Amino acid sequence: MISITNLILVFLFGSLISYLLTKANKVLGSIFNFLLTAYALYFLWNIEVGRSEKLFNIFSNVQGSLTVTNLGKFFSLVSFLVLAFVAFFVIDWIRFKPRSYAAFNAFYLLMAGGSLGVFFANDLITLYVFWEIAVLASFLIIPMGDESSKKAAVTYAVMSALGSYMYLFAAFSILNRYGVISFKEVSINLLNEASIGYKWFVILFIAAAGIVKSGIFPLHTWLRKAYGGSPDAFTAAFSGQLSKLGSYVLAISLAVFPTVKMFSPLYQGVPTLNYILIWLGNISIILGTFMAIRQNDMKQLIAYSSVANGGYILVGLATLDSIGFAGGLFHVFNHAIISVMVFLSFAVVILRTGTSKIDEMGGLIWRMPMTFVTYLVGIISLAGIPPTSGFISKWMIFNTLVRHGMFVTAAIAFIGSVGSFLYVFRPLAGVFLGQLKKKHYDLKEASIIMLIPMLLMVALTVLLGVYPKPILDLIVSVETELGIKPLEHAGTIIKTPLGSWNTITVFIMFAVGFIIAFILYLLFPKAKKVELTNQYTGGEFLYNYDLYHYATGFYRFIERLYDKHPSFEKLYEMIGVFFKSIGDFVTGLIYKPSPSGYIFWISIVILILYWVRW
Amino acid sequence: MVYYISFILIGIGIYGILTQKNLFKFLVSLTIIDTAINIFIISLGYIEGKDVPIYSKYTPVANFVDPLPQALVLTAIVIGVGTLALGASLLVRVYEKYETLEVEEIAVKEARK
Amino acid sequence: MRRVFALLISLGLILFFVNSLSILPEYGNVELSKVSNAYINKSVNGNNEKVKFGESKDLEDGAANVVTSIVVDYRSFDTLGEVTVLFTSALGVGLILHGFKRKTYGRLPNFILRVSVGILLPLILLFGVYVFVHGHLTPGGGFPGGTIIAAGILLLYLSNEEFDLSKTSKFVESYAGSLYIVVGLVGLAIGGVFLINFLPTGVVGDLFSAGIVPIVYILIGFKVGAELSGVIADLYREG
Amino acid sequence: MTIATIFVGILMIISAIYAIEAKKMLDSFISLSLLSLLSVFLFVIMKAPDVAITEASVGAGLTTAVLILALRRIGGDEE
Amino acid sequence: MTALLIAIPLLTAFLFVPFKEKAKFILPIIVLINIVLLFNLSINSVEAMGGWKAPFGIVLVLDSASFYTLLVVNIIFLIISLIPQITENGFSILLLILLASTNGLILTGDIFNSFVFLEITAAAAYIIASLKKNYYGAYKYLIVGSIAGGFYLLGAIYSYVGTGSLNFADISLNLNSSFLPFVSLMLFIGLAVETKILPLAGWVPDVYASGSPLTPAILGTGVTFTMMYLLGRIFITIFNGYFLDVLYIFGLLTLILAEIAAFRQEKLLKALAFSSIAQAGLVLSTISLNTYDAIKAGYFHLLNDATAKIILFVIAATVVGNFMKNKTAGISFSIASFSLIGFPIFAGFRSKLLILQSSFEKGDYLLPTVLLFSTIIEAAYLLKWNVRLWHNENEETKQIPWNIVLITLILALLIIFIGIFPDLYLKVSENITDGLMNYKAYVTTVLGGM
C-alpha cells in the first residue's frame, strides 16, 4: 500500500506519462488513465481511516498534512467510481477526438490527483492548494469542447476564483486569528469563539467555494455554459465528480465545523445560517428545475438539473439531521452516478449524430437501444422513482423536511421533483422516442467499450436501490465521525421516526407493476409506426420537417411562464459590461493621447497629496 | 526674490505643457522648467556678499558662495540638453510618421490605425 | 475652460513651491553646508590649513576653481554619469534618426557664411580648447568648451553641404569616453579607488596643477564636442 | 542689484510666456534662447560664472540650434 | 572594486560605439563578467569614489540588499542578452549603458548621483521605447519622464538644503523634519513615474505595447526591479517608514484600477502592460506595510512577477497566430500566466500566500480584499487570452527561434520549481529585506560610525 502523498504524486506525474502515451497512441494512454484511476478506486476502498501524513511546509511554522477521514473516504470513493468509469468510456470515445486528445488525458489525471488531495486534506490551505489544482485542470479541459466552451471556460474560472478566494480569505483570517488551520483545531477554536459575526463570516466564506462549485443559486450561472460546452465525456466527470468537490466543502463548512453547536437554533434545531443555506438550496431547486424545462440543448438541460440536484444535496446537508444529512450524502452518490449515466449516453448520441440539439434528433431508440436504456434508468433515478437508488436519497430528504416542519421547503422540494419529470421527459421524447430522421438511418449503437461503463452504472443504481447497505454503512461511519446521530438501518430497512422503509418490498411492488404493464403491452395491439415525412397538413407536403418536429417548442404551453423572467445570467452579464465600461473609463483616465494628460496627473497628485496631507 | 522667479517660471512651464497642443511646445516648456529649476538651485547656494568660488588673484582665500549647487547645475544643464536632443529627434520621427505635430491630429491618426 | 483649469493648476503648483519657502533659508542668507565647506577648504580628508591662491600646494585637490574641483574630482562619478547621459542621447539621436530621408533644398549655402567660417572656425576651436584646458583655473571647462567646438562644427556643416564628420566624431567620442574610464581604472590600479586623483596636484592656480582634473576636463571637452557635433550631424544630415 | 534681478525676472517671465504662446515656432525658440541668456545674467549675479558659461553655450546656443535643426528637418515652420 | 560593476559595461559601451553591430556579441560576456565579479565582492563594503569619504564624496554601498538586487538585475540582463534576436541592431550598446546605469542606481549612496543614474536609465529607456517606430509613445514617455526627473532633482536639492549633504545615510540621520513632506513628495513623484504608480503610469501601455519584445522585457523587469529597490531604499531605509501610508493607498489604487483597465484591453500586449502596472502597485502596497514579512513578500512577488513577465512579454510579442504550432512557447506562456494569477504549484501562488499572511499579520484586511478581488479580474483576462491563443483557428503562424523557446521554457520550469521549493527566491528577498530594514547598520556602514 503506497502512501496517499505518493498516490497524488503518481497522478501528477502520471499526467505527463499519460500525455506522452496518448500522443503515441490514443487508446494506450486512455487505458493507462483507466488503470490508474481504477487502482486508486481499489486503493481507496481498502484505505484505513485515521491515517495521517505530513505533506509540505506552507509557511515555516505551518505544516500541511493529509488525513483520511470517513467523510473524505466517502467522497473520494464516489469520485473515483465516477472517474474510473468515465476513464473506461474514454478509451473508445477518444478515438473520435480530432485534436488535443493527449492534453485531455493529461489534465484528466491532473484533476483526479487534485481532487484526491482535496478529499484528504487535513487543513484549510492544503485543501485550497489541491482544490485549485483540480480547478485549473478542469479549466484546461473545458475549452476543448465546442465553440461556446471557450467563453464558458473563462466564466467558470472566474466564478470559481470568486468562490475560492472567499474561501482563502476566510482561511487566512482563521490562520491569523487562531494560529491553526487544521480542521479539528479550527472547529475547537470556533466553538469557543465569542463573536457571532466572525463565525458567520467564516462559515459563509468557506461555504462560498462549495456554493460556486456545486452551482448553488446566486453563483450558478457558469454551469449551463460550462456543462453544455465542455467535451462530452468530460461533462460526465465534471458533473459527477468535480461538482462533488463543492458538496464536500459544503459538508466541511456545515458539519466538520459544527454549525449546530456554534449557533443557537432558530427553528427545530436548525440555526439561522443553515436555514439561509437551505433556502439557497431551495431556490436552486426551483430555478434549476424550471430553467431546465425550457432548454433545447440536452446537455444544458441536464446542466440545469445539476443545479437543482446541488440544491437537494445542500438542503440535505444543511439540516444536519441524522436522516437529512444521510440523504444529502446519499444524494451525492446518486447524482454522481446519474450524471455519469445521463451524460455518457448523451456523449454517445452526440458522437453519433454530431449535435446536441433535441429537436434535431428523434427516434434514436431504434438505432441505439442500450444507450436509451442507460438514459432511461438515469432519468428514473434522477426523478427519484423507485426502485432506483435516487428514490432513497430524495425520500430521506423529504422525510427530514417534513419531520422538521419545514413545509415550504418540503413543498418546493416536491415541486422540484415533479418538475424533474417534465424536463427529463423532453430529451427522452425528443431524442430517443418519436420518428427517426432520414439522416440518422445508418446510425450505429455505441461500441462495447462505451456501453460497459454505462450499463454497469445502470446495474449499480438498481442494485443499490434494492440493497443500499454498503452506502448506508459508509454514511453511518461518516455521521458517527461528525458527531451526528447515526442513521438507523438494517441492510434494506431504513428506520426513521416517521416509520421505516423496506427497499425490497418496494422493489417487488414495482417489479410486479412492471410485469403487469409489460403483459398489457403485449396484449394490446401495437401502435402503427409512421415515418417523419409521412405527415401533411392541409393537403400540403411538408418541406421543413424540423419545424414540425414535435420536439420543437416541446413545452410551448408553459413557455409563457418564462416571459420576462429575471435571470442572474443577465445580471452577471451586466456586471461584466459594467466592468468593461469602468475599464474604458479607467483606461481613459490613465491613458492620454497627449503628454499634457500625464503632466496634469503629476500636478494633481502633488496638489492633492500636499493640500490633503499637510 | 529669485525664488519667486523660478517658481513662476516652473508654473509657466507646467501651464505650457497643460495647454499647448504642438509637440515642439512641450519641448519648449520642458526647457523652461529645466532652466527654472537650475536658477532655483543656484539661488539656494547664493550668499550675499560672498564671491565667485574660484581661488584667484582677487580672492586668494576662501570667501565663496556655495559651490556645490553650481556643480550640480552644471550636470543638470547637460542632462537637460541631452534629453532635449533626444526629444527633438523623436519629434522629427513623429512628424515623419504622422505628418503633423498637433496632438489632436496625431490622436486621430493613432485611433484610426 | 482648459486654459482656466491649467492656470489654476499652475497657480496651485506655484503656491506649493511658495509654501516650501517657509522651510528654505532666506535668499542670500544661505549657510555654507558642511560639505561645501570641506570642498572649499579642500579638507575632506583632513586638512585644517586655509587654502591660499598661488601658495598652497600638494593639496588633496589642486584646482583653483572650486566648482571644477567638485565636478571633476570630488564628484567626478556624477560627471561620468553626466557624460554618459549625453553619450546615450547622442547615440539615441543616431539610432532614432537612422535611415531617415529628408527632402533636400539643393540650395548652396550663403557665400558670406562660407568665407566667414573659414576665418572664424579656427578661432572658435581655439577658444573652445582654451575653455576646457583652463577649466580648473577659470570659469568654463569641458562642457562649455565642448559645446563651443560643436558650435564651430555646426558652422562647418552650415557652410558646406558635403561636409561629414560623423565617422571621426564617433571615434573621438568613443575613445575620449573610454579614456575617462581608463583614467578612473588607472586610479583603481594605483590608489585602489576608482577615479582617484593619482597625479600630483601642484600649486593652486598653476596651469599644470590639480592632478587629473585638467586631463579629465580635456577628455570631457573632446567627448562633449564630438557628441554634440554628432547630434548636430545626425539632425542635419542629408538623405 | 535687487532691481536688476526683478527686471531680469520680469523679462524672463515675459519671454517664457511668449515662448509658449508664440504662433510661430521660430519665434518661440528665439524667445527661449532669450530666456536662457537672461538666466545667464542671473547666474552671473548669483556668482556662478561656470554655470553662466555653460548655460550660455549649452542652454542658449546648443538648445536653440538643436530645436532649429529639428524644425528645419521637418520642413520649416508651417502656419 | 565595486565601481567596476559600472565601469566595465560603460567602458565597453564607449569602446563599441564605432561598431555598434558587434555589441550584441560582447553583451552576454560583459554581463557574465559582471556577475562573476559580483560574487567576488565582499558584502557590507563601502567604496568611496575618488577616495572622498562618505558624507562628502560619492560612495557605492554594497550591502545585502544591493548585492542581491544587483544579482537579480544582472541575471535579468543575462537572460535578455541570450536572446539577441529581440534586440535590434545597435541597441545592444544601449543595453550595456542600461546595465551600467541600473548597477549604479542600485549601488549609489548619494542622492544626486542616483538622479544622474536615473536620467541615464530614463534616456536609455526612451530610446528603447522608440523601437518598432513607436516614436510618439517614446516622446510622451520622454516628456513625463523629464518632468518627473525634474521633481526628483528638486527633491534631491531640498534634501541638500535640509541636511547639508547629499549622502543617503547623512540625509536619513540629519534631515530636518520640516523638510520631510516636501522631499518625500518630490522624490515620490520622481520615482512613481518609473515604478508605474497609477495616475502617473499612463506612458506604460504605449511603450510596452509597441510590439517590440525587448522594450517590455527589459523595462518591465530589470528596470522596474531597480526602481522598486530604489523606492524601498529611499522610503524604508532613509525616511525610515515616513510617507509609506501614501504609498500604500497609491499601491492599492494602482492594483485595482490597472487590473480593471487591463480587463478592458483588446490587445494582448496592452493587457499585459496594464497587468505589469497592477503588479507594481501590489508590490508597492505590500512593501509599504513596512514589516519584515511584508517587505519580504513584496520583493518575493516582484521576483516572481519579473520571471513571469519576461516569458509573457517575449512570447506575446514574438508568437503570431496560435499556440498549437508553437506548443512549447505556448506552455511557457500558460505557466507564466497561471503563476501571475496564483494557481498552486506555480511561484505566484507562494507570493500571494506570503502577501496575504503578512498583511493579515499586520492586521490589515484591506490589502487582501483588494488583492483577491483584483486577482479575480486578472484571472478573467489572462485566462481569456490563454484560451483565445490556444484555441483559435488562426493559420498564420511562424516558427520562433529556438533560443527564445528554450529560455522561456527554462524560466517556466523555474516558476514551477520556485512554486514547490521557494527557498531560492525567498533567500534573495530575505536578504534584500534585511538590507533595507536595517537602517542603523546602513548608516554606520556608510558613515563609518560617525
Determine the residue of chain B that is closest to C64 in CA distance: B55
User: Over 80: is that where the pLDDT of B62 sits?
Assistant: no
The pLDDT of residue E398 is above 80: no
- Average pLDDT (E17-38) is 85
A47 alpha carbon, distance to own chain's centre: 25
Dig out the grid coordinates for E199 from the structure. 495616475
d(CA E200, CA A602): 6
Among the partner residues B30, B75, B97, nearest to E146 by beta-carbon distance:
B30
The per-residue pLDDT for B12 is 92
Backbone angles phi, psi at A536, to 5 degrees: -150, 155
Inter-chain residue contact C2 with B19, CB threshold 8 Å: yes
DSSP 3-state helix, strand, coil percentages of chain A (rounded to 5)? 75, 5, 20
Task: Report which of D20, D30, E144, D60 is spatially closest to residue B25, judged by C-alpha positions.
Answer: D20
B21, B22, B25, B30: CA torsion to nearest 10? 70
Q: Do the chains contact at E127 and C95, CB–CB below 8 Å?
A: yes
CB contact under 8 A, A607 and C13: yes
User: Cβ–Cβ of A603/C19 closer than 8 Å?
Assistant: no
**How far is residue B95's CA from residue B27's CA, in Å, rounded to a whole number?**
14
Amino acid C228: pLDDT = 84
Domain carrying residue E354: 4-444
Q: What is the pLDDT of residue A574?
A: 83
**Which H or E element spans position E59?**
strand E59-62
**Among A99, A101, A132, A337, which Cα is nearest to A236's?**
A337
How far apart (Å, rounded) are the C-alpha atoms in residues A44 and A70?
A: 11
Beta bridge partners, A66, equal A53, A121
Tens of pLDDT along C78-122? 888 888 898 888 888 888 887 665 555 556 667 787 788 888 888
* pLDDT score, position A541: 58
The reported pLDDT for the residue numbered A259 is 76
In 3D, which of E442, E433, E448, E435 has the Cα closest to residue E169?
Answer: E442
Nearest CA in chain B to A596: B18
Using the CB atoms, write b or e for C214-230: b if 16+ within 10 Å: bebbbbbbbbbbbbbbb
Place of cell 463543492: A246
C-alpha angle A487/A491/A496, rounded to 5°? 35
> Which residues of chain A are at the C interface, by a Cβ-Cβ cutoff of 8 Å?
600, 603-604, 606-607, 610-611
Tell me the H-state helices in A142-271.
149-178, 183-191, 196-213, 222-229, 232-237, 243-251, 259-262
Cβ within 8 Å, pair C33-B70: no
Closest CA of chain C from A607, distance in Å: 7
**Distance between CA C46 and CA C49 in Å, rounded?**
9
Q: Can you give the pLDDT at residue A545?
A: 54
Q: What are the beta bridge partners of residue A56?
A: A64
- CA dist E354 and E358 (Å) reads 6
Q: How far is A595 from chain B (nearest CA, A)?
A: 8
pLDDT at site E336: 92
Best residue in B1, B74, B84, B103 to probe C by mutation, most C CBs within 10 Å?
B74
Interval A226-234 mean pLDDT: 82
Question: Which grid cell is A551?
Answer: 420536439
Q: What is the mean pLDDT of residues A604-611?
A: 86
Q: What angle is formed at CA A552 by the lines to CA A551 and CA A555, rounded to 5 degrees?
A: 75
Q: Which three cell numbers stand for residue A32?
A: 493507462
Task: Tell me if E450 is assigned to some domain.
Answer: no
As given in the structure block, the three cell numbers for residue A293 are 424545462
Residues 44-73 of C with CB under 8 A from E: 44-45, 73
pLDDT of residue D79: 45
Tell if the CB–CB gap between E147 and B41 is shorter than 8 Å. Answer: no
Name residues whose C-beta falls within 8 Å of residue A163's C-beta, 6 or more positions apart in sequence: A208, A209, A210, A211, A212, A213, A219
pLDDT exceeds 50 at position E450 = no
| Interchain proximity B104–A599, CB inside 8 Å | no
Query: In this structure, what C-alpha cell is assigned to residue C193?
Result: 579607488
A121 pairs with which residues across the strands?
A66
CB-based contacts of B32, cutoff 8 Å, min separation 6: B9, B12, B13, B16, D16, D19, D20, D32, D35
Residue E43: CB partners within 8 Å, gap ≥ 6?
E62, E63, E64, E67
Q: What pLDDT does A3 receive?
A: 81
pLDDT in tens, C115-165: 888 888 888 888 888 887 877 777 877 788 888 888 888 888 777 766 667
Nearest residue in E to A141, CA atom: E387
- Are A66 and A120 in contact, with CB atoms under 8 Å apart? yes
pLDDT score of B36: 92
Distance from CA of A606 to the nearest CA of C (A): 8
Task: Report the 3 state secondary structure along E382-431.
Answer: HHHHHHHHHHCCCCCCCCCCHHHHHHHHHHHHHHHHHHHCCHHHHHHHHH
Q: Which residues of D touch B75 (CB under 8 A)?
A: none
The DSSP string of A464-493 is: HHH--HHHHHHHHHHHHHHTSPPPEEETTE
Question: How far away is chain B from the Cα of A611, in angstroms, using its nearest Cα?
Answer: 17
- In this predicted model, what pLDDT tens digit does every residue of E89-148 receive, in sequence order? 778 888 889 999 999 999 988 899 999 999 999 999 999 988 888 888 899 999 999 999
Chains that touch A (3 or more CB pairs under 8 A): B, C, E
Which residue from E95, E93, E116, E103 is spatially nearest to E7, judged by alpha carbons? E103
Mean pLDDT of E163-168: 87
Element (H, E) at C5: helix C2-20
Cβ B90–C29 below 8 Å, yes or no? no
- Region A333-354: mean pLDDT is 84
Chain C hits for B68, CB-CB cut-off 8 Å, are 33, 35-36, 39, 70
Cell, residue A131: 482544490
Q: Do A596 and B107 touch (CB under 8 A)?
A: no
pLDDT higher than threshold 80 for residue A489: no
Give the pLDDT mean for A464-488. 81
Q: Cell triple for residue A573?
A: 452579464
Q: Say if the Cβ atoms of A610 and C9 lie within 8 Å.
A: no
Tally of domains in chain E: 1
Above 50 in pLDDT, residue C239? no
How many C-beta atoms surround the C-beta of residue A243 within 10 A?
27
All chains having 3 or more CB pairs closer than 8 angstroms to chain D: B, C
Looking at 1.10.260.40, 1.10.3720.10, 1.10.287.3510, 3.40.710.10, the CATH number of the domain B2-112 comes to 1.10.287.3510
**What pLDDT, on a 0 to 100 scale, did the predictor assign at position E58?**
87
B-chain CB neighbours of D5 within 8 Å are 1-2, 5
- Residue A593 C-alpha, separation from nearest chain C C-alpha, in angstroms: 16
Handedness of CA E379, E384, E387, E389 (dihedral sign): negative
Q: Summarize pLDDT for A244-297 with one digit per residue, the tens.
A: 888 888 888 888 887 777 777 777 777 888 888 888 888 888 888 878 877 777
Rounded to the nearest integer, the mean pLDDT of chain A is 81
Which secondary structure element, helix H or strand E, spans residue E432, and what is its range?
helix E423-437
Q: Which residues of B touch A606 (CB under 8 A)?
A: none
The fraction of chain E above a pLDDT of 90, given in percent, is: 26
State residue E119's pLDDT score.
92
Closest-CA distance, A176 to chain E, in angstroms, reads: 6
Residue C15 pLDDT greater than 60, yes or no: yes
pTM for this model (two decimals):
0.91
- Give the per-residue pLDDT at E300: 92
For the CA atoms of chain D, what is the radius of gyration?
A: 14
CA distances from B84 to A592, C69, E126, E353 (A): 22, 27, 12, 46
Surface-to-core class of residue E291, CB atoms within 10 Å of its CB (0-12 exposed, 13-18 middle, 19+ buried)? middle
Q: Which residues pair with A182 in a beta bridge?
A: A123
**CB-based contacts of A181: which residues, under 8 Å, 6+ apart?**
A62, A123, A124, A125, A171, A174, A175
Q: Tell me the C-alpha distance between A597 and B17, whole Å.
A: 9
C23–E51 C-beta distance less than 8 A: no
Helices (H), chain B: 2-19, 23-43, 67-98, 103-112
Cβ–Cβ < 8 Å for A125, A164 = no
- Chain E contact set for B17 (CB, 8 A): 143, 147
The predicted pLDDT at position A565 comes to 65
Give the minimum alpha-carbon distance from E264 to chain A in angstroms, rounded to a whole number. Answer: 5
B44-62 burial, b for 16+ CB within 10 Å, e for fewer?
Answer: bbbbeebebbbbbeebbeb
**Would an 8 Å CB–CB cutoff place A579 in contact with chain E?**
yes
Q: For chain C, which residues make up each domain, given as ranges?
A: 62-238
Mean pLDDT, residues E431-442: 88
Q: Is A388 exposed, middle or buried (0-12, 13-18, 19+ CB in 10 A)?
A: buried
Phi, psi of A54 (to 5 degrees): -80, 145
Q: Which residues of E touch A172 (CB under 8 A)?
A: 356-357, 360, 368
First-to-last C-alpha distance (Å) of chain E? 24
∠ CA C223-C227-C230, nearest 5°, is 140
ipTM exceeds 0.95, yes or no: no
Amino acid A405: pLDDT: 76
Domain residues of chain B, as ranges?
2-112
